Amino acid sequence: MVNFTILAGGYTSFIASYMFNSETNDLTYLNQYITGGNPTWIISHPTNKSVLYAVNENEPTGALQSFAVGPEGALTLVETAYSGGSGPPYCSGLSTGQVAIVNYGSGTARVIPTTDPLHFSADDSTIVTFPVPTAGTQGVSEPHMVYQYSEELLIPDKGNDKIWRLGQNGSPGDFSVHGQIAQPIGSGPRHIQIYENQLYTIHELASTLTLQDFPAYPNFSTPIISNVSTVPNYQPAGSSFAAAEVLIPLPTAEFPTPYIYTSNRNTGVQDPRGDTIAIFEKVDNQLVLRNQVYTGLNQIRGMMHGQQAGEGGDAYIVAAGFAGTAGVKVYKRTEGGANLEEVAVNTELPTRTSFVWLKQ
């Protein structure tokens, strides 16, 4: 038997904890821990699972918080720092010990040095402001994620239809834009993954998943190799889709194929079966849809695979809706990962937006 702790952020003033028993398929609500407002994105330190970072997606002043993680996911708030702008939807600990955060509401980003994983040195950090988009795009910069790849930081900007490339200028906390990767106009790039030096991008406005070779610096772009819709074939009248998340769990002996999992959000008239998780496979450099898994969830903003918890976790994905009352659901990967089976649900909290897996 393997028990996992799942931490869950959301549009509240707390982070919730759950226990998932993989033998009995029980998902038990454990506790909640007070945070700043709207910890909508949470993420573990890249090497130290006893440290958690969370955004406070507040307007006009966002924040970054650090927490010490105890048994069963018990959280102790340690420090809070200004995010450098408004409405931060994403943060990420870096291999350098710094923590990066982006601000959707103000078109800015900040990389904050640390004195140790729990303590920030925010005075040593500059704020990066992204350009106002040109005609034909959203009209405002809307950075939505930060992804470290080698020594670069990649930031998808939904408003600019670009993925910004940031580099450190010298001292920690001093970053600037040194390149960009162009994306289809009007597509709204939201989140990305890189696997085997290929870039997978989920586009919110177009509800598409694209594949391209990652361009070597300082190239601005490479051709889109494959561009597919994430939306299910049946669309209720009055529906309006906005894709949100993309995951690529690393291959294992049990799951040798690196399937791509994307979440759909229908922000209009709901299908009674809920929103789907679309599962893709790369075949001969083309993205091929393998399954549309209906979840009963309303607007899947965040989901996370259990591989981050270590052995045994790679079989599972947790997801929840931004809206509705369907709660938190755990899915088991089946057919080698080409399909999902719902194995557990807890409805004590109606919505959640992001997750971290920990092994107990």
Task: Read off the DSSP letter of residue 226.
Answer: E
For residue 360, what pLDDT is reported? 80
- In degrees rounded to 5, what are phi and psi of residue 37? -65, 135
Q: What's the half-sphere exposure (Cβ side, CA atoms, 13 Å) at 284? A: 0
**Cβ atoms 351, 324 nearer than 8 A:** yes
CA distance 32 to 6: 12
Residue corresponding to tokens 């979840």 = 295
Which residues are within 8 A (CB) of 212 and not within 5 positions of it... i.e. 6 or more apart?
A: 198, 199, 201, 221, 222, 223, 224, 225
The tens-digit pLDDT sequence of the chain (360 residues) is: 689 999 999 999 999 999 999 999 999 999 999 999 999 999 999 999 999 999 999 999 999 999 999 999 999 999 999 999 999 999 999 999 999 999 999 999 999 999 999 999 999 899 999 998 875 556 789 999 999 999 999 999 999 999 999 999 989 999 999 999 999 999 999 999 999 999 999 999 999 999 999 998 877 789 999 999 999 999 999 999 999 999 999 999 999 999 999 999 999 999 999 999 999 999 999 999 999 999 999 999 989 999 999 889 999 999 999 999 999 999 999 999 999 999 999 999 999 999 999 988
For residue 135, what pLDDT is reported? 55
C-alpha torsion sign, points 222, 151, 159, 229: positive
Beta pairing class for 26-34 and 14-21: antiparallel
Task: Read off the DSSP letter of residue 218.
Answer: T
CA distance 7 to 168: 31
Q: What is the pTM of this model?
A: 0.97
For residue 278, what pLDDT is reported? 98
For residue 137, what pLDDT is reported? 57
Q: Show the CA angle centred on residue 89, arms to residues 57 and 157, nearest 5°.
A: 135
